[in-house]
Chains A and B, each alone.
Chain A
Amino acid sequence: MVLVNKAPSLFIYVFLLLTLVTTVLKPVHAVAPIHVAVASNFLVPARHLVNQFKLETGYDVVLISGASGNLYTQMIKGAPIDVFLSADSKLPQQLVKDDMALPESLYTYAEGQLVLWSGNSALQLNQHTVATWPHRLAIANPRFAPYGAAALEYLSAHDVLDSYQHRLIKANNVNQAFQFIDSGNVQLGMIPLSLLKVAYQKSKAQKYLHYYPLPNKPKIIQQMVILSRAQNKLMAWKWLNFVTSEKAQQYLASVGYIAQTSQQIAQQRVHNMQLKQ
């Protein structure tokens, strides 16, 4: 009887002791990581950047991925996010307008490259393909996906939008558009080059090299911003500087983005400094 009574109390004692020790030690050993919200189509490159950042600084970054619109909604509803890496420039600018983000932290970190892609290697891909293609075409939803908007712009600039009216498959994001083509359900589509680069790196399948670059109009500018309520602003700035560093930009160029040159970054910095004053 005595033993039975004693055992749990000993357990509770040890448990409390451990809890106390861990709570006391925690702030000394680990700095809470910053939370970075990232558009799902940028998740793979972002993961790579986080690993590099960790190697260089020892700081940890937690990535929260989702559709940009959903992330925006979560942020204005108070989600604990420190930095937002958006797939467009509209939402970060909106956050600045909402007084939710630091205006001087608004940076373009990459520019997207739209390509025409088909999983069918027999299909010739050039500027005439879209005009003569009789079947369905997969794009991201132009209402909220900047790559979709650029695709729509291309179709209307080439006077073929009307003929595609009932043949456009509007995926919820670029990843889904990619998946529709990759699975063979659609033969042709307009997606970001970066998705093909990542897919090729993973599988080395030749079909991911069969694409045709489209002019970027309007430009697909991807911007990031630090949220005003960020707890650890120092680390948020470090992360921001890392993403705009030459090394990070070179990596982004290798995975299909149009990188920002160091001059462009410097110009943005000057512009942001003026904003702050």
Chain B
Amino acid sequence: MIDEDLTALTLTLQLAITTTLILLMIGLPVAWKLSRYHGRLKPVYEAIIALPLVLPPTVLGFYLLMAFAPDTFFGQLWVGLTGQQLAFSFSGILLGSLIYSLPFVVQPLYSGFCQVGQQYDQVAASLGISRVRRLIKITLPLMKPAILSAVTLGFAHTLGEFGLILMIGGNIPGETQVVSIALYNHVEAIDYQHAHRLAAVLLTISFISLVLLYKFNRRALTGMTTTVAADPTPNKIKARGTHV
């Protein structure tokens, strides 16, 4: 494997891990809030979160490229804050990835919160256990499968990101050149040997991620689309808390 491919691979892993961690931090409170919210605007919030799921990445990339331009308000604000331009930078593709992979993290968490429900939390609260302790001892352990799905899906999805980075990345090794772009470039240059190697690496990582996901969470992918799982895992007590 040539140096540039290794750089691209490291960069991609870095991007996927950072994106997943940040999204987990954003996603947990958002999903929790959404699972407790039953107002009129619920479909709107749900649609906003799910939008990147159906939006072609190039659409997102196009808007971001327009928004990142230094003569726009957003572009100027960013340069003022960081002294760095957003397009063609790691921060730029990270921001893009955060939007792009948002539903892949938030949706499993949301279904998780819906399944876990509120009853254990309420019982624990009535026993006088503090809010933080309840979160650490009860809610998060029950959420383990959902968190695992969210992490795996967010990670794997960011790993394969292509159209978005193609639009805003600018192909800078070590900064914005991710594996999928490097692979595309190999094919463009008719260098199939390197293309094969990179493709195999991506395939392997994606496959292992999914095997791990299914090993630890049987209903991983179905949990993404159905808000309330029909068939909880045998060892878990069926949560009857919140039905949407």
Contacts and interface: CB of A to CB of B under 8 A. Distances in A.
Interface majority SS on A: helix, strand, loop or mixed?
Answer: mixed
B65 A183 contact: yes
Contact of B71 (A72, A168, A184, A186): A184
Contacts, number: 57
A143 B190 contact: no
A43 B8 CA distance: 31
A136 B184 contact: no
A151 to B, nearest CB: 14
Contacts of A70: 187-188
B76 to A, nearest CB: 11
A185 B171 contact: no
What's the interface size class on B, roughly?
A: 10 to 19
Contact of A185 (B85, B187, B188, B190): B85
B174 to A, nearest CB: 9
Contacts of B185: 141, 143-144, 172
Given A143-B185, A172-B166, A185-B65, A136 B171 contact: no
Interface in B160-185: 166, 170-172, 184-185
A138 B185 CA distance: 17
A169 B172 contact: yes
B136 interface: no
Nearest to A94: B190
Contacts of B171: 141, 169-172
A5 interface: no
Interface string B75-107: 000000000010110000000000000000000
B71 A170 contact: no
A58 to B, nearest CB: 36
A183 B69 contact: yes
B53 interface: no
Interface string A175-202: 0100110011110000000000000000
B70 interface: yes
B110 interface: no
Nearest to B65: A183
A72 B166 CA distance: 21
Contact of B70 (A68, A179, A185): A185
B13 interface: no
A67 B188 contact: yes
A168, A170, A179 interface centre (most CB from chain B within 10 Å): A170
22 contacts: A69-B189, A70-B187, A70-B188, A73-B187, A73-B190, A141-B185, A143-B188, A144-B185, A144-B190, A166-B172, A169-B88, A171-B170, A172-B166, A172-B171, A172-B184, A172-B185, A180-B170, A183-B66, A184-B70, A185-B65, A185-B68, A185-B85
**The 7 A-B residue pairs with the shortest CB-CB distance in the complex, in nearest-first order:** A69-B188, A184-B69, A169-B170, A185-B87, A170-B171, A144-B189, A144-B188
